[in-house]
Structure 1
């Protein structure tokens, strides 16, 4: 299987962590992609022009990260990051939606500052997105998912969101959310794949 991604992509990182946790990372060939390059074939592989994309051996393409992670999970017997019991499943998927939403709002802030000249940046838009992140972290600081039992896709998504805040926002969240720092340290200790997929850039 081929995974189209980029090294700093938090959604690509989520897929890589899941593959490592499931023990099937060695079945993936990671192929770097550039979403800003119109000549990159990813636009033919995913008309949205977004990564990650998983290309199966028979040529089928699967996207986005949520679908890829669930597909990989379904290939492995005996281990699952997507609970099947009703309450546990909805909790895990909702937590994943929260983590992915933090990433989405953060990426929009990065694009606004990276792709627009300073005089054209929209302060209200940036504030709107940063408020989403703050509200999410405020909620998580008192209700971070327990790391005592089985881990789920929700744990992975939250960890990737915090990792992306470290990468693109200099870890400024850490001073205001020490309980989440402790949570992430505990996740890192339990899931070596988190550090193994860290982008240094």
Structure 2
């Protein structure tokens, strides 16, 4: 098991790596380089679907019930394989009308209804809060398990993770005035994180 300082150093180092990658991607985009805007980055970016809680849930379900975990991934797989035309049309409409959220998208399809946009936003917030709580719980459980033998461990892990996520989002997700602008740095950081997830899943699967 790790000590508190060792684990904190590893976590901080990983976050700093993500910061550097995001900064590097933003800098390359400002210089007009399209190095990181390719199919590999976008494909790996889809891995954001596999969260910390997904890691626990999928591995636990596979270990206990075999292939019962597979339907979790059938929906996204079928959407990508068979719904390409629909996705392309949605992206085209979003770009034409400068749409950045599901609330704006639905409101635009029904006469730009402000009431509908507010309703969709409220539903989305209510729906996503429990899921965010699960992600924080998964990270907290990981820290607690790794540090269970550390007598000096006494901190609110969930709060620390939430603060780090908020700072990262402010620096690389919401600092641009134009919300329709391509977030090259953020995409690159998400893709790198997804690559780490793929490696972790493969290693754990082989084990």
Q: TM-score, normalised by structure 2?
A: 0.32
More strand by share: 1
Q: TM-score scaled by structure 1? A: 0.33
